[in-house]
Chains A and B, each alone.
Chain A
């Protein structure tokens, strides 16, 4: 057993209101620079939808992630042979138009326009070429199902839904959507790290954050292809790739990452998970896609187990970190309550960002023109007639394992029955008991789930292990002194090479 600690996250999709505050927080702190304008280390997508970059989930196009290769796994579109062969031209590299051409407006024109009969306008100009452009797409162009004919219908996760099943989703009365905020997953088996020919990308041993060393990156661009979540971005100005750094300078000083701190819906949770690094390869090579979620959950260790604690300490993990793992909201959501699922486990990178699937839009339905919240007649009635087909959700979160989705939705539903009974009391006790029994949930656990979901304080949502000076890189630096420089790790003006 090789115990390591990993900073992991849970996003509770039922609580996401799609306000994009997280994206703006991240943009303002990290990517408001030349060459990085188009990057959204944090973005929020509407599902169903094609996302950003367009159709990023379709690995037939982008060749990201790992694929099963005999008893092992190999990179789908990169790797030693493919990577070095394609180094002069990477055929699977998404180009600027797959994201969007960033733009601003000529606000000055509003003031300097000569007097005339028309209102002056601020025309959009490209942030790449500086010329006037007609804006054709943006990072959340299909927000709230906008242009769903062109976008939502192209969602890759419909691949094994029959045309009639898809049609049902797009009937006006049944239309529904939910938001999917995405950041880097800081995977246990990161494809970007494995694909980087320069060895510039690495996983930090202490907390598992995946970083790109800007001084070693040589713009071979393989990480952009290899990351199946398309969360590694190429900076066209500096000629270096960049990605989410999980705000590690903030983490090291005990603060939540900017996107999580700003989250209006308080959907984000962050905490430590202990895992067994010896089993990474075995878990990533799991035979059936449908078993991947369970296999991945198996790699995370119980931080209360004395054996685990002993091994962790042997590996130099501080007791304070182990205590943080015991209090970790992520551990509760993922391992104890089994409510959170990884996004696209079939990419086999073992992502460390988990999602509690949205129950709300799925359960509500319109019958005979009347909007009904949940179906009281049948215990799990709403799940069977889910407006978001279980198959669709399973393509997103469980690699096609529909039972797992139903399990999670039932547990969420049971908590609701229980809370309804507690606070309003208009549900028959029998229904509540049946529900709770079927998903094996006690009243205390249900209350704990409710508390962490709805009432959790800042310190309950973000259990950041106390900073250890000897581990941290930046905490003794005065970052204001070096504002405008490349940032963290080294100090230099971020100028393009020559």
Chain B
């Protein structure tokens, strides 16, 4: 059972994520969008969206750092004060994401215009995020101090997954239901990315920071286009 949950399931999710999102990005690009509903309702969205997104963003990178640099995190936590600061910060952002999503759910359920653009998948997304956030908060509250043991004990498990040598003894022996739910739902989120609006964080426009402001496309190489020696006899142009 543990093997199924912590080995087979994660690999399935990761495989679906990889194949699915590459396929959708390339073949179904028109459907990839953040599907913002701010245009229909902007006021209630402000607080909800900001709390939710910034909360999740910080938590995601927190987890990522714990995963990538466990030694640094442990070193940082060497002093109780610093551990406390880290834990409280993380918990605050967790609460922020929690209240954010509650407001988002409320808005989606009550605003007539937003209801119109709500799909079934939106509810799947909201439900799984709720599970993820609540279980995460429970873990943080009941199994203190997460930032300390995450680095020592979840990181090795996650690493073992990524190096294709799964070691599930540690995670399987844990006696915390909320932690197990948190891990499972995390992999589920990864698995459903290609089928939901989660796609939008894969296309976060990071390249905007370094591209030049103006974009000009030439359909053809304008320097060569009308030079007769570049004439391509019998070749069909790519646009036809």
**A contacts, CB < 8 Å to B:** 75, 79-80, 83-84, 87-91, 93, 95-96, 128-131, 189-190, 193-194, 196-199, 201-206, 214-221, 224, 234, 236-240, 280, 315-318, 470-471, 473, 476-477, 486, 490, 492, 494-498
Contacts and interface: CB of A to CB of B under 8 A. Distances in A.
Contacts of A490: 30
Contacts of B33: 217-219, 238-240, 497
Interface residues on B, range: 35 or more
Interface string B196-240: 110110010101110101111111111111100000000001011
Given A96-B39, A236-B39, A498 B116 contact: no
A224 to B, nearest CB: 8
B15 interface: no
Contacts of A221: 36, 38-39
B31 A495 contact: yes
A498 B117 contact: no
Given A194-B213, A202-B217, A206-B222, A239 B208 contact: no
B117 to A, nearest CB: 6
28 contacts: A75-B213, A83-B208, A87-B205, A88-B52, A96-B39, A96-B40, A129-B113, A196-B215, A199-B207, A199-B208, A201-B215, A202-B216, A204-B218, A205-B217, A218-B203, A219-B35, A221-B36, A221-B39, A236-B37, A239-B36, A240-B30, A316-B222, A470-B237, A471-B219, A473-B239, A476-B240, A497-B32, A498-B197
B226 A318 contact: yes
B177 to A, nearest CB: 31
B38 A93 contact: yes
A193 to B, nearest CB: 5
Contacts of A497: 30-33, 35, 197, 199
B50 interface: yes
B107 interface: no
B20 to A, nearest CB: 12
B23 to A, nearest CB: 14
A251 B240 CA distance: 18
Interface string B180-207: 0000000000000001110110010101
A471 B225 contact: yes
Contact of A95 (B39, B199, B216): B39
Contacts of B209: 80, 84
A221 B29 CA distance: 17
A84 B208 contact: yes
B229 to A, nearest CB: 14
B45 interface: yes
B68 interface: no
Nearest to A217: B33
Contacts of B38: 89-90, 93, 95, 221
Interface of B: 29-42, 45-46, 49-50, 52-54, 112-113, 115-117, 119, 121, 195-197, 199-200, 203, 205, 207-209, 211, 213-226, 237, 239-240
A216 B34 contact: no
Contacts of B203: 198, 218
Given A95-B39, A203-B214, A476-B240, A237 B117 contact: yes
Contact of A198 (B53, B205, B217): B205
B34 A218 contact: yes
Contacts of A494: 30
A470 B220 contact: yes
A216 B29 contact: yes
A95 B222 CA distance: 40
Given A96-B113, A197-B205, A237-B117, A220 B220 contact: no
Contacts of B207: 199
B201 to A, nearest CB: 10
Contacts of B215: 193, 196, 199, 201-203
Contacts of A199: 205, 207-208, 211, 215
Contacts of A317: 222
A89 B208 CA distance: 18
A471 B208 contact: no
A218 B205 contact: yes
B214 to A, nearest CB: 6
A204 B217 contact: yes
Given A197-B205, A496-B31, 19 more contacts: A79-B213, A84-B208, A88-B50, A88-B54, A89-B46, A129-B112, A198-B205, A199-B211, A203-B214, A203-B217, A205-B217, A206-B222, A218-B32, A219-B33, A220-B36, A239-B35, A315-B222, A477-B240, A498-B195
Given A203-B216, A239-B35, A215 B40 contact: no
Given A193-B215, A198-B203, A498 B196 contact: yes
B222 to A, nearest CB: 4
Contact of B208 (A75, A198, A240): A198
A48 B112 CA distance: 35
A87 B205 CA distance: 10
Residue with the highest number of chain B CB atoms closer than 10 Å, among A128, A197, A494: A197
Contacts of A219: 33-36, 200
Given A205-B218, A498-B197, A239 B45 contact: no
A206 B220 CA distance: 9
Nearest to B196: A498
Contacts of A87: 205
A80 B212 CA distance: 10
Contacts of A79: 213
Nearest to B223: A316
Q: Which 10 A-B pairs have the closest CB atoms?
A: A197-B205, A316-B222, A497-B31, A194-B213, A215-B29, A239-B33, A205-B218, A239-B35, A88-B53, A197-B208
B205 A498 contact: no
A83 B121 CA distance: 28
